Amino acid sequence: MIYNIGMDDLARTTFGACPHDCPDTCAMIYEIVGNKLVSVKGNKSHPMTRGTLCVKLKDYEKRHYHPDRLIYPHKRVGAKGEKKFKRISWDEAITTITGKWKEIIEEHGPQAIMPYSYLGNQGLVHGLNGGDAFFNKMGATVCERTFCGEGSCTAWLTTVGPTAGVDPESYVHSKYIVIWACNSVSTNLHHWAIVQDARKKGAKVVVIDSYKSRTAKQADWHIAPKPGTDGALAIALINSMIEKDLIDKDYIEKYTNGFKELKNHVQKKTPSWASKITGISKDDIEKLAFELATVQPAAIRMGVALERHHGGGQTIRAVTCIPALTGAWRHVGGGITQFPVWEHPYKFDVICRPEWIPENTRVINALQVGRALNGEMDSKIPIKSMMCWNANPVTQAPETEKIISGLLKEDLFLVSAEHFISDTASYADILLPAAMGAELEDIILSWGHLYLTYNQKSIEAPGEALPNNEIFQKLAKAMGYDDSQFNWSDSECLENYIDWNAPASKGISLDYLKKNGFARLNVGTKDDRAPHKEGNFATESGKCEFILKGVTNFVAGPFRQMYEGFQPGEKLPELPDYVPNKESPDTNPELAKQFPLNMVSPKSHAFLNSCYANMESKIRVQGEQFVLVNKKDANARNIADGTKVKVFNDRGLFEAVAKITDDVNPGIVVSTLGYWRQLNKGTVNSISSANLADMGNAPTFSDNLIQIEKIA
């Protein structure tokens, strides 16, 4: 019985979807009282996410109501970076922004304005591409966003095409599972639960990672190659499988191209050769090759860390070839998984409107924004304004000191749509308050499973915060852009952004999602999906391409506003191979004299990229900024456990607490990403290079030499 409670105060539940940059895309239940989000729970009916939430999301309501949340527009009244702002109206904010942009366009042209976004929100409406139509209409510089997975995408698409590969749920049928460069316990928790189910049925779990992560500690077998040498390991596995006749000759003959050339190419790339490069014994390489080839179904889950060095694309290509060599694709639960997103029916052309982009519009890579802001790029057009949403480059992009130098320029007009005054937002001229999860309607993109997941607008945002789509609508109106797309409601956007007539969408509609919260795409079930049992690869030939003929380097369209102009364009190697790091003691001994340690920077357990790194509850779980150091390296520098140290190279530095551990091998240090610069001395990416990898203009976050010193 309920007493003295108005109808508006009755509890209700609505459907939610986690918007964070994570493969799991959890289906959630929002619990609402009146206009307040009181709790968030996992949706127990979702077969993939099963009603559980990670440590980051389980108290999501606290993020909505954090006392530091930005809920009104503001303008800067102090020096840049000083975090002195004054509240203003939306009318003043929009008038100021568009007035400044019109002045810049008049003097320098629209390409002097640059959009900057990433996956701080994975919604189709409010996420990565949410402002692309607006900026493409303007004719602004195109932002190429290659923070995570884009080199992997290039390698994957050229080798097997836009396929989802092995359904993550089908791993329950796998008998041999390799998790390669992925810390699933921290970053792919729900897939790890499925892996555990398979393990209970007898599956062996192998983790390949350069340090002993939370996932590696739970594996049946942990293999730790030196950072950036996974490509040598993959090539040696191919060599051993071929030399010991562990391959599926029938599958190779029917469903692959280039085996003869690949066989000749890897002939001398033996386990002994790879052992010297990787630090893994010849016997272990041969054992892994034998087991991976003979224990079927065998499945490989690749992590984005595989691409984060100079030769990352070639590494992904080599690993992607393995299931076709062994015939693992014949089986349910056999093959390899990259991003299942390729079979999702999203209409990125409609979202982004690339046809509005003027010919010869320049492209600037988001990883190199520091160089661009400081005039180091080969361009006559300066960047006079940047708008940042769903991204925090000061924390997440490399060469931090260059970014800050650029943001400090008085002639740079920075607009930031944010939830908090983040490291990047602190340099803004105009702050715009963005709505958060329960305050907007969207379908959240999943790059980790085969479900569409609906997020219902359940409450009104506090103060004057607005969803990203509404922000861009206001900007479009003030700029005089009257295309109908700029008037679509969130529901109308969703009706237009998904191909509801695609075979994968059969039986699914937006109304269905609104009633049920999620829907599995019609691409087979976890118990029968074997998409490449008889080839049927999504390549031009329909086969797995061991060899590439005349293929040039590119970045997949969704990561560059669907623009095809000024692609990287260099010719890609015909065959997969090992491409060494640019920075390692073996490849750059001169640099190693000054900076002898390899730095690896995985994602944090309690933060999601830079989200939650300003929340005390998450900081308590994650701990203060730390660096994992092997005892041998610590002793050589007189560093004890708990010592405050400086981690540095000629690009920058950060401070951290040393944790002495055997979880890292000598010569390697590990420090996780996400900590805010304003709350710490420097950030991990202060030492990271903005040089791009060999494919897809991917980052090289794990291709860095550093030194550590005790702080006196």
Tens of pLDDT, residues 138-176: 999 999 999 999 999 999 999 999 999 999 999 999 999
The predicted structure's pLDDT at residue 526:
97
d(CA 635, CA 163): 49
Under DSSP, the state recorded for 316 is H
* CA 663 distance to own-chain centroid: 25
Q: What are phi and psi of 239, to 5 degrees?
A: -60, -50
Asked if residue 434 lies in contact with residue 419, where contact means CB atoms within 8 angstroms, the answer is yes
Average pLDDT over residues 28-35: 96
The predicted structure's pLDDT at residue 6:
46
Per residue in 483-522, pLDDT (tens digit) is 999 999 999 999 999 999 999 999 999 999 999 999 999 9
Pick from 4-18, 268-282, 537-551: least confident: 4-18
The yes-or-no verdict on residue 3 having pLDDT over 70 is: no
The predicted structure's pLDDT at residue 367:
98
Per residue in 554-610, pLDDT (tens digit) is 999 999 999 999 999 999 999 999 999 999 999 999 999 999 999 999 999 999 999
d(CA 212, CA 204): 18
Q: Give the pair of three-digit tokens for residue 358.
A: 């003027």
The predicted structure's pLDDT at residue 58:
87
Query: What would the DSSP string read from start to end of 458-495?
Result: -SPPSTT-B-HHHHHHHHHHHHT---GGGG--HHHHHH
CB-based burial label for 688 (10 Å; 0-12, 13-18, 19+): buried
The predicted structure's pLDDT at residue 344:
97
Q: Give the pair of three-digit tokens for residue 54.
A: 């990670």
Average pLDDT over residues 95-124: 97
- pLDDT band of residue 1 (cuts 50, 70, 90) is very low
- pLDDT band of residue 668 (cuts 50, 70, 90) is very high
Q: Model-level pTM greater than 0.85?
A: yes
The predicted structure's pLDDT at residue 10:
80
Average pLDDT over residues 463-471: 98
Q: Give the pair of three-digit tokens for residue 106.
A: 């008049």
The predicted structure's pLDDT at residue 286:
98
d(CA 308, CA 227): 9
Cα 280–Cα 671–Cα 237 angle in degrees, nearest 5 = 20
**Best CA proximity match to 251, nearest among 352, 324, 344, 349:** 324
Per residue in 374-427, pLDDT (tens digit) is 999 888 999 999 999 999 999 999 999 999 999 999 999 999 999 999 999 999
